[in-house]
Each structure stands twice: as structure tokens, then as C-alpha cells.
Amino acid sequence: MRGFFTVGGLKLSYLDFGGPGTPLLALHGHYNEASAFAPLAEALAPRWRVIALDQRGHGASDRARSYERDDYVADLAAFHQHLNVGPAVVLGHSLGGVNAYQYAGRHPDRVTALIVEDIGAVVDCDWSFTTRLPRDAPSREALASAVGAAAPYLECSFRQSKGGWGFSFDIGDTVASQKALNGDHWNDWVSVTCPTLLIHGTRSDEMTAAHAREMITRRDDRATLVELPAGHVVHHDAQAEFAAVVSAFLLDTE
């Protein structure tokens, strides 16, 4: 089920995958949207009910004038309040992972457990890939060909318009968001007090194994690291393994 709510004049969208389970709020990364979590939602049902946000500038949500850190955290707070589900588990990938641990660190009473997928406490994004993305293409096949090896990771965001095929995100907005994501976020990471699972892809080009281990070291014994044979988008590259690790962690936190 698709739903909508408003925050700061922006209309944001989300997908509620439904079911009787305990709510789990999911946040995608750049270039993606809520629908990227459909396989995970299916794997976790019926024990868990995944509700995934189209973050500002992505999917069916409005584009924004600002993509600063506080904007994303405020969106998540408004999303959580709109759902009226009480304290919940929050999962985030990449951009969504930073948003998730910043929210958990700043609002500890609202997050019961945290899952962060392949993003560090210090972020240094390279947005050159973003600026090389095609602005439009005559067909879906042509867009996939132009994107190349990254097409399977971006295809949920492919959109057709009168002018041809493009993305559900704006390239300029994405660069602005990536620039705002960069920085040292250690204070937020170490402020998290709930049980935390950090999932690292062993072939990731976004986070090193050494940094992942340091993130665990700087937390207490309520943070756990799991490494899976995958690139940056672990939930795509190791779909079954990712779901199994998440499920086991959630079972331990119940």
C-alpha cells in the first residue's frame, strides 16, 4: 500500500508492505526508493511488517530545496510520527543508514533496534558517477545500456516520461544530497544506545573493513558487525544472506 504525508511543505511517499508483523522502518540509499525493499519485506513477513520511505527527492516524494542532514532526520521523525506505531526498528542503507543512526542517536526513545547497511561514521562520497548518468534515453533498454553494470541497482528508479526514459530522482539534487552526506558523524554513531547491527559488503567501494571494525570498537557490546560477500548494495548482491542475517538479529532483539 502506498501512503503519503506532509512535512515542512513537502509531500513524502512510502510503501507499507503490510501484514500483521512488528513494524520495521526502512530507508533506501541514493539512486533508489522504497520499492528496493520489496524482496526483504517478503523474506521477513509475516513476523515483520516493512514500511519503507521514499526519501525526499526520491521515488514518488517531492523534490526539495535542501538535502542537509537535519532535513533527512526531520523527515524520518515526521514519517515515524505519521505511522503512529510507537518505538520501532529502523534499517537504512547508505544514505538511509546515516539517516537511521543519526535518528537513533538523537531520539533514543523512538528506536528499539538499528540496522545499518554498508555506510560509515565518516563519509566521503564521490559524486562523479552521478554526474555521468544519462539525463534521458529513448527507451528503457537504452537507459539500462547507458547506465551499464549499475543498471540492476538503479532499475527500480527508472521512469518513463513524455521525453523518454530517465530516473525518479534528479541528478543535481542527488549531487547536493551526496555533498551534504559527507562528513564526520562519529558523535551520532556513538550516541546510539539500542542494539545495532552493522552489515558490511566485503567488496564495498564505500566502506573499508577497517572502518567497519572501528565503528564496532567505538560502541559498546550492543553493536555487532556482520560481513557478507557483496558490494555496497548488500541487500541486492546477497539477498538471501542479507535477509537471514537481519532476521536472526531481529529475533535476538525481541
The two beta strands, 164-167 and 158-161, are antiparallel
Strand, helix or coil at 144? helix
Cα 23 to chain centroid, rounded: 16
Q: Could you give the CA distance from residue 228 to residue 181 in angstroms, rounded to a whole number?
A: 24
Domains along the chain with CATH numbers: 2-127+171-253 (3.40.50.1820)
Closest listed residue to residue 124, CA positions, set 245, 31, 208: 208
pLDDT band at 178 (very low <50, low <70, confident <90, very high): very high
- How confident is the model at residue 220, as a pLDDT? 77
pLDDT band at 221 (very low <50, low <70, confident <90, very high): confident
pLDDT band at 161 (very low <50, low <70, confident <90, very high): confident
pLDDT band at 42 (very low <50, low <70, confident <90, very high): very high
Closest listed residue to residue 7, CA positions, set 94, 47, 66, 50: 66
Q: Could you give the CA distance from residue 141 to residue 160 in angstroms, rounded to a whole number?
A: 12
Instruction: Say which residues have a Cβ less than 8 Å from residue 150's Cβ, sequence separation at least 6.
Output: 129
Angle value at C-alpha 50, between 194 and 150, nearest 5 degrees: 100
pLDDT band at 162 (very low <50, low <70, confident <90, very high): confident
- How confident is the model at residue 142, as a pLDDT? 96
What percentage of the chain's residues is helix, strand, coil (to nearest 5)?
45, 25, 30
The two beta strands, 2-7 and 10-16, are antiparallel
Mean pLDDT (whole number) for 15-23 = 96
DSSP 216: H
Q: Could you give the CA distance from residue 159 to residue 139 in angstroms, rounded to a whole number?
A: 10
Mean pLDDT, rounded, of the chain: 96
Biggest distance spanned by C-alpha atoms of the chain: 53
* pLDDT per position as a tens digit, 49-70: 999 999 999 999 999 999 999 9
Residue 147: pLDDT above 80?
A: yes
Instruction: Yes or no: say if 183 and 231 are a contact pair by the CB < 8 Å rule.
Output: no
Q: Could you give the CA distance from residue 229 to residue 149 in angstroms, rounded to a whole number?
A: 18
The structure's pTM equals 0.96
